[in-house]
Amino acid sequence: MEQAWESPKVYHRPMRTSALFSLIAGAACIALSPIWVRVSEVGPTASAFWRVCLAVPLLWILFFSLKTKETKSLITQSPLLLVAGIAFAGDLAFWHWSIQYTSVANSTLLANLASIFVTLAAWLLWRQRPSGLFLAGLATALFGVVLLVRASLDFSPTALLGDGLGVVTAALYAWYLLSVKGLRDRGAGTLQLMAATTTITAAILLPVALASGEALLPESAAGWLKLLGLAWISHAAGQGLIASALAHLPAGFASVGLLLQPVMATLFAWILLGEPLVALQIAGGAVVLAGIYLARRASSQ
Protein backbone atom coordinates (compact mmCIF):
# COMPACT_ATOMS: atom_id res chain seq x y z
CA MET A 1 0.00 0.00 0.00
CA GLU A 2 0.61 1.90 1.09
CA GLN A 3 3.26 4.49 1.80
CA ALA A 4 5.03 4.27 5.08
CA TRP A 5 4.92 6.81 7.85
CA GLU A 6 6.38 10.07 6.61
CA SER A 7 8.78 12.17 8.60
CA PRO A 8 10.00 15.72 8.06
CA LYS A 9 12.27 16.23 5.07
CA VAL A 10 15.93 15.97 5.88
CA TYR A 11 18.64 17.30 3.58
CA HIS A 12 22.34 16.50 3.28
CA ARG A 13 22.42 13.80 5.94
CA PRO A 14 25.02 11.07 5.55
CA MET A 15 23.56 7.74 4.55
CA ARG A 16 23.92 4.95 7.13
CA THR A 17 24.07 1.27 6.24
CA SER A 18 21.80 0.39 9.15
CA ALA A 19 19.23 2.97 8.01
CA LEU A 20 19.31 1.59 4.47
CA PHE A 21 18.72 -1.91 5.84
CA SER A 22 15.83 -0.60 7.95
CA LEU A 23 14.28 1.04 4.89
CA ILE A 24 14.46 -2.16 2.83
CA ALA A 25 13.29 -4.36 5.71
CA GLY A 26 10.42 -2.01 6.48
CA ALA A 27 9.34 -1.93 2.84
CA ALA A 28 9.40 -5.74 2.76
CA CYS A 29 7.29 -5.96 5.93
CA ILE A 30 4.66 -3.58 4.58
CA ALA A 31 4.73 -5.33 1.19
CA LEU A 32 3.55 -8.50 2.92
CA SER A 33 0.35 -6.81 4.15
CA PRO A 34 -1.75 -7.50 1.02
CA ILE A 35 -0.67 -11.15 1.20
CA TRP A 36 -1.94 -11.42 4.79
CA VAL A 37 -5.20 -9.74 3.77
CA ARG A 38 -5.73 -12.03 0.78
CA VAL A 39 -5.23 -15.25 2.83
CA SER A 40 -7.07 -14.00 5.93
CA GLU A 41 -9.96 -16.03 7.34
CA VAL A 42 -11.93 -12.86 8.16
CA GLY A 43 -13.51 -10.20 5.97
CA PRO A 44 -11.64 -7.20 4.56
CA THR A 45 -13.00 -4.68 7.07
CA ALA A 46 -12.46 -7.13 9.92
CA SER A 47 -8.85 -7.71 8.88
CA ALA A 48 -8.36 -3.93 8.81
CA PHE A 49 -9.66 -3.79 12.39
CA TRP A 50 -7.42 -6.61 13.65
CA ARG A 51 -4.46 -5.07 11.83
CA VAL A 52 -4.59 -2.02 14.10
CA CYS A 53 -6.20 -3.58 17.18
CA LEU A 54 -3.50 -6.20 17.64
CA ALA A 55 -0.80 -3.60 17.00
CA VAL A 56 -2.07 -1.17 19.64
CA PRO A 57 -0.61 -2.91 22.75
CA LEU A 58 2.75 -3.40 21.04
CA LEU A 59 3.01 0.24 19.99
CA TRP A 60 2.14 1.58 23.45
CA ILE A 61 4.58 -0.83 25.11
CA LEU A 62 7.31 0.35 22.75
CA PHE A 63 6.46 3.99 23.39
CA PHE A 64 6.61 3.69 27.18
CA SER A 65 9.59 1.32 27.30
CA LEU A 66 11.97 3.04 24.87
CA LYS A 67 12.05 6.20 26.99
CA THR A 68 11.78 8.48 23.99
CA LYS A 69 11.87 12.25 24.23
CA GLU A 70 8.29 12.44 22.98
CA THR A 71 6.70 14.03 26.03
CA LYS A 72 4.31 16.51 24.42
CA SER A 73 0.70 15.66 25.24
CA LEU A 74 -1.65 14.96 22.35
CA ILE A 75 -4.79 15.69 24.37
CA THR A 76 -5.02 19.25 23.08
CA GLN A 77 -4.76 17.93 19.53
CA SER A 78 -7.70 15.52 19.86
CA PRO A 79 -9.77 17.00 16.97
CA LEU A 80 -6.89 16.60 14.51
CA LEU A 81 -6.10 13.16 15.96
CA LEU A 82 -9.71 12.13 15.31
CA VAL A 83 -9.45 13.38 11.73
CA ALA A 84 -6.27 11.35 11.25
CA GLY A 85 -7.93 8.26 12.73
CA ILE A 86 -10.97 8.58 10.47
CA ALA A 87 -8.78 9.02 7.39
CA PHE A 88 -6.57 6.06 8.28
CA ALA A 89 -9.59 3.85 9.04
CA GLY A 90 -11.03 4.68 5.63
CA ASP A 91 -7.67 4.12 3.98
CA LEU A 92 -7.28 0.63 5.45
CA ALA A 93 -10.88 -0.44 4.86
CA PHE A 94 -10.93 0.67 1.22
CA TRP A 95 -7.49 -0.81 0.55
CA HIS A 96 -8.37 -4.18 2.04
CA TRP A 97 -11.48 -4.31 -0.14
CA SER A 98 -9.41 -3.28 -3.16
CA ILE A 99 -7.07 -6.23 -2.53
CA GLN A 100 -10.05 -8.59 -2.62
CA TYR A 101 -11.31 -7.31 -5.97
CA THR A 102 -8.20 -6.63 -8.04
CA SER A 103 -4.62 -7.85 -8.23
CA VAL A 104 -2.18 -7.16 -5.41
CA ALA A 105 0.02 -5.34 -7.93
CA ASN A 106 -2.71 -2.94 -9.02
CA SER A 107 -4.13 -2.27 -5.55
CA THR A 108 -0.69 -1.56 -4.13
CA LEU A 109 0.51 0.61 -7.00
CA LEU A 110 -2.67 2.69 -7.03
CA ALA A 111 -2.58 3.17 -3.25
CA ASN A 112 0.90 4.65 -3.63
CA LEU A 113 -0.55 7.56 -5.59
CA ALA A 114 -1.11 9.17 -2.18
CA SER A 115 1.96 11.41 -2.48
CA ILE A 116 0.50 12.90 -5.66
CA PHE A 117 -2.82 13.58 -3.94
CA VAL A 118 -0.96 15.35 -1.12
CA THR A 119 0.55 17.87 -3.55
CA LEU A 120 -2.76 18.29 -5.37
CA ALA A 121 -4.46 19.02 -2.04
CA ALA A 122 -1.81 21.62 -1.22
CA TRP A 123 -2.45 23.20 -4.63
CA LEU A 124 -6.24 23.29 -4.25
CA LEU A 125 -6.48 24.16 -0.55
CA TRP A 126 -3.43 26.35 0.08
CA ARG A 127 -2.63 27.59 -3.44
CA GLN A 128 0.83 26.02 -3.35
CA ARG A 129 1.44 25.92 -7.06
CA PRO A 130 3.16 22.67 -8.18
CA SER A 131 6.27 22.71 -10.33
CA GLY A 132 6.49 21.63 -13.94
CA LEU A 133 8.32 18.49 -12.84
CA PHE A 134 5.42 17.53 -10.57
CA LEU A 135 2.91 18.05 -13.38
CA ALA A 136 5.05 15.85 -15.62
CA GLY A 137 5.06 13.20 -12.89
CA LEU A 138 1.28 13.51 -12.50
CA ALA A 139 0.71 13.07 -16.23
CA THR A 140 3.06 10.09 -16.31
CA ALA A 141 1.36 8.44 -13.33
CA LEU A 142 -2.10 8.97 -14.83
CA PHE A 143 -0.99 7.36 -18.07
CA GLY A 144 0.29 4.40 -16.06
CA VAL A 145 -3.08 4.19 -14.27
CA VAL A 146 -4.83 4.01 -17.64
CA LEU A 147 -2.61 1.07 -18.60
CA LEU A 148 -3.30 -0.69 -15.29
CA VAL A 149 -7.04 -0.21 -15.67
CA ARG A 150 -6.90 -1.52 -19.22
CA ALA A 151 -5.09 -4.61 -17.98
CA SER A 152 -7.72 -5.05 -15.25
CA LEU A 153 -10.50 -5.27 -17.81
CA ASP A 154 -8.99 -8.59 -18.91
CA PHE A 155 -8.20 -9.75 -15.37
CA SER A 156 -11.66 -10.29 -13.83
CA PRO A 157 -15.13 -8.66 -13.83
CA THR A 158 -14.44 -7.11 -10.41
CA ALA A 159 -10.91 -5.85 -11.06
CA LEU A 160 -12.06 -2.43 -12.29
CA LEU A 161 -13.96 -1.88 -9.02
CA GLY A 162 -10.84 -2.91 -7.09
CA ASP A 163 -8.76 -0.40 -9.05
CA GLY A 164 -11.26 2.34 -8.21
CA LEU A 165 -11.08 1.45 -4.53
CA GLY A 166 -7.28 1.63 -4.79
CA VAL A 167 -7.49 5.22 -6.01
CA VAL A 168 -9.90 6.08 -3.16
CA THR A 169 -7.36 4.51 -0.80
CA ALA A 170 -4.67 6.86 -2.09
CA ALA A 171 -6.89 9.91 -1.57
CA LEU A 172 -7.73 8.86 1.99
CA TYR A 173 -4.09 8.16 2.81
CA ALA A 174 -3.16 11.59 1.50
CA TRP A 175 -5.76 13.06 3.88
CA TYR A 176 -4.18 11.02 6.68
CA LEU A 177 -0.66 12.21 5.82
CA LEU A 178 -1.76 15.84 5.79
CA SER A 179 -3.36 15.35 9.23
CA VAL A 180 -0.19 13.71 10.51
CA LYS A 181 1.90 16.57 9.15
CA GLY A 182 -0.28 19.00 11.09
CA LEU A 183 0.25 16.99 14.27
CA ARG A 184 4.00 16.71 13.69
CA ASP A 185 4.19 20.48 13.12
CA ARG A 186 2.58 20.87 16.55
CA GLY A 187 5.33 18.82 18.19
CA ALA A 188 3.90 15.28 18.25
CA GLY A 189 6.53 12.52 18.15
CA THR A 190 6.47 9.67 15.65
CA LEU A 191 6.02 6.70 17.99
CA GLN A 192 3.52 8.49 20.20
CA LEU A 193 1.55 9.53 17.14
CA MET A 194 1.60 6.02 15.69
CA ALA A 195 0.24 4.57 18.92
CA ALA A 196 -2.47 7.21 19.32
CA THR A 197 -3.75 7.17 15.74
CA THR A 198 -3.67 3.36 15.63
CA THR A 199 -5.81 3.24 18.79
CA ILE A 200 -8.36 5.67 17.36
CA THR A 201 -8.43 3.81 14.04
CA ALA A 202 -9.17 0.52 15.82
CA ALA A 203 -12.03 2.13 17.76
CA ILE A 204 -13.53 3.43 14.50
CA LEU A 205 -13.15 0.18 12.55
CA LEU A 206 -14.68 -2.13 15.18
CA PRO A 207 -18.32 -0.96 14.81
CA VAL A 208 -17.89 -0.79 11.04
CA ALA A 209 -16.65 -4.39 10.94
CA LEU A 210 -19.52 -5.53 13.20
CA ALA A 211 -22.11 -3.74 11.05
CA SER A 212 -20.68 -5.18 7.81
CA GLY A 213 -21.76 -8.71 8.67
CA GLU A 214 -18.34 -10.09 7.77
CA ALA A 215 -16.68 -12.94 9.59
CA LEU A 216 -14.97 -11.16 12.49
CA LEU A 217 -13.10 -14.05 14.14
CA PRO A 218 -10.74 -16.47 12.38
CA GLU A 219 -11.68 -20.15 12.47
CA SER A 220 -8.24 -21.56 13.30
CA ALA A 221 -4.98 -20.87 15.10
CA ALA A 222 -3.38 -20.31 11.69
CA GLY A 223 -5.97 -17.61 11.04
CA TRP A 224 -4.92 -15.77 14.21
CA LEU A 225 -1.25 -16.08 13.21
CA LYS A 226 -2.03 -14.44 9.88
CA LEU A 227 -3.69 -11.53 11.67
CA LEU A 228 -0.74 -11.24 14.05
CA GLY A 229 1.58 -11.16 11.05
CA LEU A 230 -0.51 -8.37 9.53
CA ALA A 231 -0.51 -6.38 12.79
CA TRP A 232 2.97 -6.99 14.18
CA ILE A 233 5.08 -7.52 11.06
CA SER A 234 3.40 -5.35 8.43
CA HIS A 235 1.88 -2.59 10.55
CA ALA A 236 4.04 -2.16 13.67
CA ALA A 237 7.43 -3.42 12.47
CA GLY A 238 7.08 -2.14 8.90
CA GLN A 239 5.99 1.35 9.84
CA GLY A 240 8.48 1.51 12.73
CA LEU A 241 11.48 0.43 10.64
CA ILE A 242 10.72 2.97 7.92
CA ALA A 243 10.09 5.78 10.41
CA SER A 244 13.49 5.00 11.93
CA ALA A 245 15.19 4.86 8.54
CA LEU A 246 13.75 8.17 7.33
CA ALA A 247 15.39 9.95 10.26
CA HIS A 248 18.86 9.02 8.94
CA LEU A 249 18.52 9.00 5.15
CA PRO A 250 18.52 11.84 2.61
CA ALA A 251 14.90 12.72 1.80
CA GLY A 252 15.32 12.22 -1.95
CA PHE A 253 16.86 8.78 -1.58
CA ALA A 254 14.29 7.69 1.01
CA SER A 255 11.34 8.73 -1.16
CA VAL A 256 12.71 6.65 -4.04
CA GLY A 257 13.50 3.75 -1.72
CA LEU A 258 9.89 3.63 -0.56
CA LEU A 259 8.92 2.69 -4.12
CA LEU A 260 10.38 -0.73 -3.29
CA GLN A 261 7.17 -1.51 -1.41
CA PRO A 262 4.78 -1.93 -4.39
CA VAL A 263 7.50 -3.77 -6.31
CA MET A 264 8.04 -6.20 -3.42
CA ALA A 265 4.29 -6.65 -2.97
CA THR A 266 3.97 -7.62 -6.62
CA LEU A 267 6.83 -10.13 -6.31
CA PHE A 268 5.36 -11.63 -3.12
CA ALA A 269 1.96 -12.01 -4.81
CA TRP A 270 3.60 -13.75 -7.77
CA ILE A 271 5.67 -16.11 -5.59
CA LEU A 272 3.25 -16.79 -2.74
CA LEU A 273 -0.15 -16.48 -4.43
CA GLY A 274 0.75 -17.41 -7.98
CA GLU A 275 -0.77 -14.13 -9.17
CA PRO A 276 0.08 -13.69 -12.86
CA LEU A 277 1.51 -10.54 -14.39
CA VAL A 278 0.75 -9.56 -17.99
CA ALA A 279 2.94 -7.34 -20.14
CA LEU A 280 0.48 -4.42 -20.10
CA GLN A 281 0.30 -4.57 -16.30
CA ILE A 282 4.09 -4.57 -15.98
CA ALA A 283 4.32 -1.60 -18.34
CA GLY A 284 1.59 0.28 -16.47
CA GLY A 285 3.25 -0.41 -13.13
CA ALA A 286 6.59 0.85 -14.39
CA VAL A 287 4.99 4.04 -15.72
CA VAL A 288 3.12 4.65 -12.44
CA LEU A 289 6.33 4.23 -10.45
CA ALA A 290 8.14 6.62 -12.79
CA GLY A 291 5.37 9.19 -12.31
CA ILE A 292 5.44 8.84 -8.51
CA TYR A 293 9.24 9.18 -8.57
CA LEU A 294 9.06 12.42 -10.58
CA ALA A 295 6.32 13.81 -8.34
CA ARG A 296 8.25 13.03 -5.15
CA ARG A 297 11.44 14.46 -6.58
CA ALA A 298 9.60 17.66 -7.43
CA SER A 299 8.12 17.84 -3.92
CA SER A 300 11.55 17.43 -2.29
CA GLN A 301 13.15 20.29 -4.23
Measured CA to CA, the distance from residue 175 to residue 169 in angstroms comes to 10
Q: What are 184-215's pLDDT values in tens digits?
A: 777 777 778 888 899 999 999 999 999 998 99
225 assigned to some structural domain: yes
Residue 1 domain-assigned?
no
Residue 5 domain-assigned? no
Range of the domain at 81: 17-299
- Say yes or no to pLDDT of 216 above 50: yes
- pLDDT tens, residue by residue, 34-74: 999 999 999 999 999 999 999 999 888 888 887 655 555 66
Over residues 259-270, the pLDDT tens digits come to 788 888 989 999
Q: Is residue 8 part of a domain?
A: no
Q: Is the distance from CB of 291 to CB of 133 less than 8 angstroms?
A: no
Q: What is the pLDDT of residue 7?
A: 42
Query: How confident is residue 276, by pLDDT bands cut at 50, 70 and 90?
Result: confident
pTM assigned to the model: 0.84
pLDDT bracket for residue 295 (50, 70, 90): confident
Of the CA atoms within 13 Å of residue 235, those in its CB half-sphere come to 31
**Residue 2 falls within a domain, yes or no?**
no
- Asked if 223 and 42 touch (Cβ cutoff 8 Å), the reply is yes
Residue 119 has pLDDT above 50, yes or no: yes
d(CA 248, CA 251): 9
d(CA 12, CA 300): 12
4 domain residue, yes or no: no
- Asked if the model's pLDDT at residue 147 lies above 70, the reply is yes
Domain count within the chain: 1
Residues 6+ apart with CB under 8 A from 112: 1, 2, 3, 170, 259, 261, 262, 288, 292
